[in-house]
Amino acid sequence: MSRSLDWQLMRNWLALLVVGVFALAFVACTGDDDDDAEPTATQAPTQVATSSPTEAATAAPTEEPSMNRTLEVGVATISLDGQMDDWANVPGIEVPLSAIPEDYREDASASGDFTATLKVATDGTNVYVLMAVPDGFNYDPADHRLSPAVGVEWQIDDGATPQMGSTGDELKESSGMVDIWHWELDCAPGALSGGSYQTGNDPLCNLDDEYATLNDEREDDDIENSLAGSWDHSARAEGIDADGTFVFEIARRLNSGDPQDAQFELGGTSKVALAYWDGNEGFAEKGGGWSDAGHAVSITADEGADGWIDVVFPSDSTRTLTAPTGVTITLDGLQDDWASVPGIQVPLSAIPEDYREDASAARDLTATLKVATDADNVYVLMTVVDGYDFVLEDHRLSPAVGVEWAIEDGAGPQMGAVGEGLIESGGMVDIWHWELDCLYGEISGGSFPTGNDPDCNLDDEYATLTDEREDDEADNSLTGSWDHSGRAEGIGTDGIWVFEFARPLDTGDPQDAQFAHGGSGMIALAYWDGNEGFEEKGGGWSDAGHAVSIAVDGGLAGWIEVNFE
304, 383: one domain: no
180, 325: one domain: no
Q: Is 106 part of any domain?
A: yes
SS (H, E, C) 323-380: ECCCCCCCCCCCCHHHCCCCEEEEEEEECCHHHCCCCCCCCCEEEEEEEEECCCEEEE
Strands, E assignment, 426-468: 429-435, 444-445, 458-463
159, 276: one domain: yes
Neighbours of 24 (CB within 10 A): 13
324, 295: one domain: no
How many folded domains does the chain comprise? 2
Rounded Cα distance, 396 and 371, in Å: 27
219, 350: one domain: no
325, 298: one domain: no
452, 489: one domain: yes
Q: Which domain holds residue 449?
A: 319-564
Rounded Cα distance, 135 and 295, in Å: 13
Q: Is 491 part of any domain?
A: yes
116, 193: one domain: yes
- Class of residue 500 by CB neighbours under 10 A (exposed 0-12, middle 13-18, buried 19+): buried
Domain boundary among 277, 312, 347: 312
Q: Is 225 part of any domain?
A: yes
367, 468: one domain: yes
Task: Tell me how long the chain is.
Answer: 565
31, 164: one domain: yes
pLDDT tens digits, the chain, 565 residues: what are they? 333 333 333 333 333 333 222 222 222 222 333 333 332 322 222 222 222 333 333 444 455 677 899 999 998 888 899 999 889 889 999 999 998 776 655 555 667 889 999 999 998 788 999 999 999 999 999 999 999 999 999 999 999 999 889 888 777 899 999 999 999 999 999 999 998 788 889 999 999 999 999 988 889 998 878 899 999 999 999 999 999 999 999 999 898 889 999 999 989 999 999 999 999 888 877 778 998 888 899 986 566 678 899 999 988 777 788 999 999 999 999 999 999 999 988 888 887 666 655 556 678 888 999 999 999 999 999 999 999 999 999 999 999 999 999 999 989 888 888 877 778 888 999 999 999 999 999 999 988 888 999 999 999 999 999 888 899 998 789 999 999 999 999 999 999 999 999 999 999 999 999 999 999 999 999 999 988 877 777 778 888 888 888 755 433 357 899 999 8
Rounded Cα distance, 304 and 316, in Å: 31
333, 263: one domain: no
Domain boundary among 286, 312, 338: 312
SS (H, E, C) 379-401: EEEEEEECCCCCCCCCHHHCCEE
**What is the DSSP secondary structure assignment for residue 223, as one 8-state letter?**
S
pTM of the model: 0.64
CATH of the domain at 31: 2.60.40.1190
Rounded Cα distance, 449 and 131, in Å: 55
